Amino acid sequence: MKRVIKVKNNISIISHASVGGGEERRGPLGDKLDFCDPSDTFGQSTFEVAEGECGRIALNTALTKANLSHEDLELLVAGDLQNQCVGTSLSLGSFGIPFLGIYGACSTCTEALLILSAFMDSATDMQYGGAVTTSHNSAAERQFRTPLEYGGQRSPSAQWTATAGGAFLLGRDKTKPLITEYMPGKIVDGGTLDGSNMGAAMSFAAADTIISYFNETGRKPSDFDYIVTGDLGRVGSDILEDILSRELPGAECFHRDCGLMLYDTSRQDAHSGASGCGTSAAVLSAYFLPLLESGKIRRILLLSTGALMSPSSILQGQNIAGIAPLIRIDSPISS
């Protein structure tokens, strides 16, 4: 069975929106985000509920841009970084849209777009669907590591979980960026044990996906403007590019990592870069999709990268495996 699946019917990203918090507003893409809340609370009483509100704001913004209502959406695929995706269910449940909640760690953005594309490609009478992904620094720190009040020193390889999110509406408009292929990732265990070095854990899955894609399709890295990973950060990106330089020479030149784009690591204390599933969602919406819409770039491969771990698995000494699903997005102007 081939892993790369072509989308047979027109599936396009007809609208999108990006949301961030205070640190995201201070970053290089801050002025490109649709909405930012410097307090990181989004008007809510807890950070966990704030993460869900981030997704609700993103979805409402994307709907407003497209002049659509939540009643027009026939399926919503969404997830966040909290246990049982509770942030998403609390914030989006009132919309009354048929819902698939997913948890792919930091790979959730691409996974949501992949699943929704597959549904719409098979259900040709489905006109509109939505995909939403969020993460929140304070909620993630409390769940995965230590209480915020503890103020523990972070390792240089650690990344800063983004308070960010993105919403994407899929439709069948050929004048919008088209999702033309998708490829499920494989669970890849690179032997990483360090919970403060998730970029390294995810890098091996990213390499497997990229190399497998080009081996199966026979395409060249130069066929794409960018090969975009979700949030490997500096450490993970260095590992990935080293692997690519040996296994697929030249591919490393096209690599861009959303985790290295969201923050200015020279003046923001993000250490190795950004992490969290909201990272790739926000950067895709704020940066890459506008370039595709304008025709300034032709096509990209997007593979959000996820570290498959939990607080319990880390305490029990289990390796951190990685996953990296992939979608191909083409500009309507160059397709």
pLDDT score for 201: 84
For the segment 311-317, the average pLDDT, to the nearest whole number, is 77
Q: Is the pLDDT of residue 269 over 80?
A: no
Contact 108, 102 (CB under 8 A): yes
C-alpha of 84 from chain center: 18
CA distance 132 to 143: 21
C-alpha closest to that of 265 among 291, 307, 235: 235
At 321 the three-state DSSP class reads strand
Query: Would the CATH topology of 5-171 be identical to that of 178-330?
Result: yes
Q: Is the pLDDT of residue 46 over 80?
A: yes
pLDDT confidence tier of residue 112, bands split at 50, 70 and 90: very high
pLDDT score for 154: 63
pLDDT score for 318: 86
pLDDT score for 142: 66
DSSP 164-225: EEEEEEEE--TTS-EEEEEE----B------TT-HHHHHHHHHHHHHHHHHHHH---GGGSS
Tokens representing residue 195 in the block: 């919970």
Q: Is the pLDDT of residue 20 over 60?
A: yes
Q: Is the pLDDT of residue 268 over 70?
A: no
Q: Is the pLDDT of residue 273 over 90?
A: no
Tokens representing residue 129 in the block: 């669907």
**The most confident of 31-35, 105-109, 140-144, 198-202, by mean pLDDT:** 31-35
State the average pLDDT for the chain: 89
Q: Is the pLDDT of residue 301 over 80?
A: yes
Instruction: Enter the pTM of the model.
Output: 0.94
Q: How do residues 254-264 score in pLDDT, each as one tens digit?
A: 999 998 899 88
pLDDT score for 33: 97
Comparing 114 with 42, the larger pLDDT belongs to 114
CA distance 120 to 331: 19
| Residues 6 or more apart whose Cβ sits within 8 Å of residue 197 | 155, 157, 158, 235
Tokens representing residue 174 in the block: 């050929």
For 5-171, CATH gives: 3.40.47.40
- What would be the CATH architecture of the domain defined by 178-330? 3-Layer(aba) Sandwich (3.40)
pLDDT score for 330: 98
Q: How far apart are the first and last CA of the chain?
A: 27
Q: How do residues 125-184 score in pLDDT, each as one tens digit?
A: 999 999 999 988 776 676 666 666 555 656 655 656 788 999 999 999 999 999 999 999
Q: Is the pLDDT of residue 29 over 90?
A: yes
pLDDT score for 196: 64
Domain ranges of the chain: 5-171, 178-330
Q: How do residues 281-293 score in pLDDT, each as one tens digit?
A: 999 999 999 999 9
pLDDT score for 67: 98
